[in-house]
């Protein structure tokens, strides 16, 4: 039986979302945001020279049609991306009312979000007294730190020393539907932090807050550093999604990275974690060699988003894309006849944009192993329908296959 691999390059959007004017970074609408297009422009103009140089160099993804995707999605003719496509290529548009990780992944898996997420006000304090009291009760502390919208690295550096002095957890949110808790792995305790987030999650899920995220860090004042032990406690999808469909038909489902967390570990046969995207790519390469006939492998590579998108690091984002492109060539060389590999994203996070939050964008759909040609503009749910059709699953969801 054929196998299928979905690789989500977290935040690698391609612009052109028709409703971008309804989403904001600070007070600026996301109209015109274009993660890939603007990175390519910055590289061509010599504005992304830290640790790399010259035009954005992605020969593997270009060969699948990446340059054509940017033009299709947004009309932008990105410099250096004019290679003739050898794969299938298109751009997907999201309908869920969120530019966040769960919304994007669920919809790619055939389940658009049927409700409006709850977002915390961009004010200080951001959290109501009842929620703060519950955090304190569960944590066994007299108070919390933060209680605001913040960038995670910035608030860790700003309040980390006070956290060590008081023992109070650092609680913050963003433009996404999230409640994040940062705490020191040794001083506060990793297991204590994870238990706090797990115990708090049901309350926040009942309020339609999408995720409670544990953000552990180590180090001392002036040298704090996040660790790889992040954990997302996400609300469950409201109905069965692609991985559930595959399991119902007796298929093995491999989840790489935070896919398990995003789907509350539903529909996962085997979970493959790592300390970095480099570790996760090694799992992807291994599974290209070893995954069972008929298996579905679903991979999320988060560092494009977390390390380079949110901090608005254009050079770092370009380096990460070029590093992945080399790995993608190795990965594709390992596929077996009949396999497909689909590269996409869950939202945008334009590192040239204002603010620090995700940007509302269309996302690339690049398919290897399914011939050549333009897919055109499609829906996020069409990804699930196409993969399900390729695997011969009984359920294909609300989308239409483009294969």
Please give the annotated binding residues, written as ranges: 10, 305, 310, 346-347, 358
Residue closest to 307 by CA, chosen among 172, 160, 152, 194? 152
Measured distance CA(177)–CA(160) in Å, rounded: 23
21-30 CB contacts, 8 Å cutoff, 24+ apart: 22/360, 23/99, 23/359, 23/360, 24/175, 24/355, 25/175, 25/353, 25/354, 25/355, 25/356, 25/357, 25/359, 26/354, 26/355, 28/353, 28/354, 28/355, 30/99, 30/348, 30/353, 30/359, 30/360, 30/361
Pairing state between β 231-234 and 211-218:
antiparallel
List binding-site positions for Mn(2+).
Answer: 10, 305, 310, 346-347, 358
Measured distance CA(93)–CA(73) in Å, rounded: 9
Angstrom CA distances, 320 to 39, 45, 51, 304, 327, stand at 11, 18, 11, 7, 11
């Amino acid at each position: 039986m054929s196998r299928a691999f979905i690789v989500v390059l977290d935040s690698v959007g391609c612009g052109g979302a028709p409703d971008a004017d309804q989403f904001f970074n600070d007070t600026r609408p996301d109209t015109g945001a274009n993660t890939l297009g603007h990175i390519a422009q910055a590289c061509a103009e010599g504005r992304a020279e830290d640790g790399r140089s010259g035009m954005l160099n992605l020969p593997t993804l270009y060969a699948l049609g990446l340059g054509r995707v940017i033009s299709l999605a947004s009309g932008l003719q990105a410099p250096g991306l004019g290679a003739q496509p050898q794969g299938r290529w298109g751009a997907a548009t999201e309908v869920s009312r969120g530019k966040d990780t769960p919304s994007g992944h669920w919809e790619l898996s055939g389940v658009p979000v049927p409700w409006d997420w709850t977002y915390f006000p961009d004010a200080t304090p951001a959290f109501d007294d009842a929620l703060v009291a519950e955090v304190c009760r569960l944590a066994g502390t007299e108070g919390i730190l933060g209680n605001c919208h913040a960038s995670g690295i910035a608030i860790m550096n700003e309040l980390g020393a006070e956290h060590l002095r008081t023992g109070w957890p650092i609680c913050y949110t963003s433009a996404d539907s999230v409640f994040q808790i940062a705490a020191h792995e040794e001083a506060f305790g990793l297991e204590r932090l994870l238990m706090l987030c797990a115990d708090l999650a049901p309350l926040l899920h009942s309020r339609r807050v999408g995720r409670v995220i544990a953000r552990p860090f180590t180090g001392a004042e002036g040298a704090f550093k996040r660790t790889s032990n992040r954990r997302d406690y996400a609300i469950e999808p409201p109905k069965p999604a692609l991985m559930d469909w595959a399991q119902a038909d007796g298929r093995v489902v491999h989840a790489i990275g935070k896919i398990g967390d995003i789907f509350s570990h539903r529909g996962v046969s085997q979970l493959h974690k790592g300390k970095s995207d480099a570790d996760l790519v090694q799992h992807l390469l291994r599974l290209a060699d070893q995954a069972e006939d008929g298996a579905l492998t679903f991979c999320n590579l988060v560092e494009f988003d977390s390390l380079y998108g949110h901090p608005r690091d254009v050079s770092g984002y370009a380096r990460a894309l070029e590093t992945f492109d080399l790995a993608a060539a190795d990965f594709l060389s390992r596929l077996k006849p009949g396999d497909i590999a689909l590269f996409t994203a869950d939202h945008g996070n334009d590192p040239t944009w204002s603010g620090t939050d995700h940007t509302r964008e269309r996302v690339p759909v690049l398919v290897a192993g399914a011939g050549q040609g333009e897919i055109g503009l499609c829906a996020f749910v069409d990804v699930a329908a196409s993969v399900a059709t390729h695997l011969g699953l009984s359920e294909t969801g609300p989308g239409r296959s483009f294969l």
